[in-house]
Amino acid sequence: MLEKNNLGDKRIVDLEADSEFRFEVDFKAQVQIKLVKGTAEIFGTELAEGVEYTFSGRKAAVYTWHEYTANETPMTSYLNTHLAIQQLRDMARSSNELGPRVLVIGPHDVGKTSLCKIMASYAFRQGEKPLYVSLDTAEGSITMPGAVTATAISHLIDIEEGFGSSATTAASMGSTTMPLAYYYGYENPSENVKMYKLVVSRLAHTVKSRLAADPESRTSGFIIDTPGLINQVGYELIWHAIEEFSVNVVVVLGHERLYSDMMKTYKNQDNISIVKLNKSGGVVERDKQFKVQLQRSKIQEYFYGTPKCELSPYSMLVNFGDINVWRVGEAIAPSSALPMMVGTKDSETEVVKVDSFDMCLHSVMAILDADDAEHENKLLQCSVVGFIYISDVNEEKKKMTILSPSPGRLPRRHVLMGSFKWMET
């Protein structure tokens, strides 16, 4: 394998069987990798021989099999888990039932997303079309940070750009393969547990009804990626996800106590298998700054595309009167009115209308799939048709400048604001 960095330094790396070449590239740097001879993969997607792949802002590993005996990486156990799940798919096919519902849990930075990608890629390579569900609102691997999403794996996950070039682009172009998304609006599930549960339940309901109507995906089932959940709130959210998605395989990655707690909780339920897998030595802890940069680049990608598939967003003026901006939480009331408000609102899952448009500046907002006349109590249950960014607010003229991936009028007038702000660079 040939590695070349942006200073032009090149080197050849010989990969032994069942070993990985791990690399980290900063957001400002670039590295090129070419498979000169043999076979190798990145998170389950095979590299083509002789093709130069470019990476920036990534931490990843090139892995090669050749033989399945050595034990230096956990890849053999990942493959075996996939094979066992594949058997469940075969069984589902013979009885025309819903395929495996796999939930991957564990602390932060143990490789949950990477494992989900690997399992989804292996399934795809075996002719399956599983759904990839992401409950990780910090990451925004599909569409935007703050959203919980589901997308069909109908082509290989891109080596260089992960989900970037396929799912995000489909999302921003409003394509029919637009991932299914519900907007939570915060990074961390513990910021508003009730609201998080609400969007997860909605997503689960829609995923299950989509699968019921889609014979191709139904028997392939789905794989759910989660945020690092191991505290009290985390357990509550895991139980909730298992219930709502009717999960039947729980994969616990890199955490002994979480595994034994899950074994205890589900010991009387034969229909749920709990699997323990080790964390790969290659998984890198990403500091806060790297994660913030990752979120920024996800937002940027949504509007401007990726190096392989650039997009040109549209900037347009919208009258304050043509858009309804909502946010979750109590209305900001004058202090004299406060005693009257206490106990009257379930503020965690109720929306309030934003009247002061100044606070919208630099916000990312989800356009909700709601009719103009939809009752405000129903808005949080609506899926997302796309996202916009507020680049300017002119209180005098009562207009906002918005950035949108598609031209023309806003497809819907109800938009939901979360806590994500962004500055175009």
Taking the least distance from each CB to ligand ATP, the nearer of 108 and 345 is 108
Helix H or strand E encompassing 351? strand 351-353
**Annotated binding residue 111:** yes
Query: Which three-class secondary structure string do you get for 151-185?
Result: EECCCCCECCCECHHHHHHHHHCCCCCCCEEEECC
Residue selected from 112, 129, 298, 414 as contacting ligand ATP according to rule CB under 6 A: 112
Taking the least distance from each CB to ligand ATP, the nearer of 224 and 367 is 224
CB of residue 47 to ligand ATP, shortest distance in Å: 15
Find the angle CA(284)-CA(61)-CA(230) to the nearest 5 degrees.
35
61 binds ligand ATP (CB under 6 A): yes
Residue selected from 44, 99, 100, 111 as contacting ligand ATP according to rule CB under 6 A: 111
* 184: nearest Cα among 229, 226, 137: 137
Give residues 340-399 in contact with ligand ATP (rule: CB under 6 A).
none
Q: At what angle do helices 232-244 and 256-265 cross, to 10 degrees?
A: 50
Taking the least distance from each CB to ligand ATP, the nearer of 306 and 383 is 306
**Annotated binding residue 114:** yes
CB of residue 373 to ligand ATP, shortest distance in Å: 39
Write down how long the chain is. 425
110 binds ligand ATP (CB under 6 A): yes
Rounded Cα gap, residues 411 and 314, in angstroms? 14
Taking the least distance from each CB to ligand ATP, the nearer of 20 and 128 is 20
Q: Which residue has the tokens 């394509």?
A: 175
CB of residue 6 to ligand ATP, shortest distance in Å: 19
228 binds ligand ATP (CB under 6 A): yes
The tokens of 364 are what?
């990312």
Rounded Cα gap, residues 195 and 351, in angstroms? 11
Residue 41's alpha-carbon distances to 33, 35, 64, 122, 247, in angstroms, are 12, 10, 6, 11, 29
Torsion of CA 380, 381, 384, 385, to 10 degrees: -120
**Annotated binding residue 34:** no
Rounded Cα gap, residues 107 and 227, in angstroms? 8
Residue selected from 41, 128, 139, 301 as contacting ligand ATP according to rule CB under 6 A: 139
27 binds ligand ATP (CB under 6 A): no
**Annotated binding residue 397:** no
Nearest-CB residue for ligand ATP: 282
**Annotated binding residue 113:** yes
114 binds ligand ATP (CB under 6 A): yes
Query: Which three-class secondary structure string do you get for 295-310?
Result: HHHHHHHHHHEECCEE
Give residues 41-60 in contact with ligand ATP (rule: CB under 6 A).
59-60
280 binds ligand ATP (CB under 6 A): yes
Residue selected from 128, 136, 160, 301 as contacting ligand ATP according to rule CB under 6 A: 136
Taking the least distance from each CB to ligand ATP, the nearer of 106 and 313 is 106
Q: How far apart are the first and last CA of the chain?
A: 35
Give residues 286-325 in contact with ligand ATP (rule: CB under 6 A).
286
Taking the least distance from each CB to ligand ATP, the nearer of 26 and 109 is 109
Rounded Cα gap, residues 25 and 142, in angstroms? 21
In this structure, how many other beta carbons lie within 10 angstroms of the beta carbon of residue 86? Answer: 18
Residue selected from 282, 309, 331, 347 as contacting ligand ATP according to rule CB under 6 A: 282
* 115: nearest Cα among 252, 260, 292: 252
Residue selected from 283, 367, 382, 400 as contacting ligand ATP according to rule CB under 6 A: 283
Residue 232's alpha-carbon distances to 228, 235, 256, in angstroms, are 12, 5, 16
**What is the size of the binding site for ligand ATP (CB under 6 A)?**
21
Residue selected from 86, 113, 149, 306 as contacting ligand ATP according to rule CB under 6 A: 113
Taking the least distance from each CB to ligand ATP, the nearer of 106 and 221 is 106
**Annotated binding residue 109:** yes
Taking the least distance from each CB to ligand ATP, the nearer of 34 and 59 is 59
Percentage helix, strand, coil, to 5, in the chain? 30, 30, 40
Q: What is the CA radius of gyration of the chain?
A: 22
Taking the least distance from each CB to ligand ATP, the nearer of 256 and 270 is 256
* 146: nearest Cα among 109, 178, 189, 104: 189
Binding site per annotation, positions for ATP: 20, 59, 109-114
Binding site for ligand ATP (CB under 6 A): 20, 22, 59-61, 108-114, 136, 139, 227-228, 280, 282-284, 286
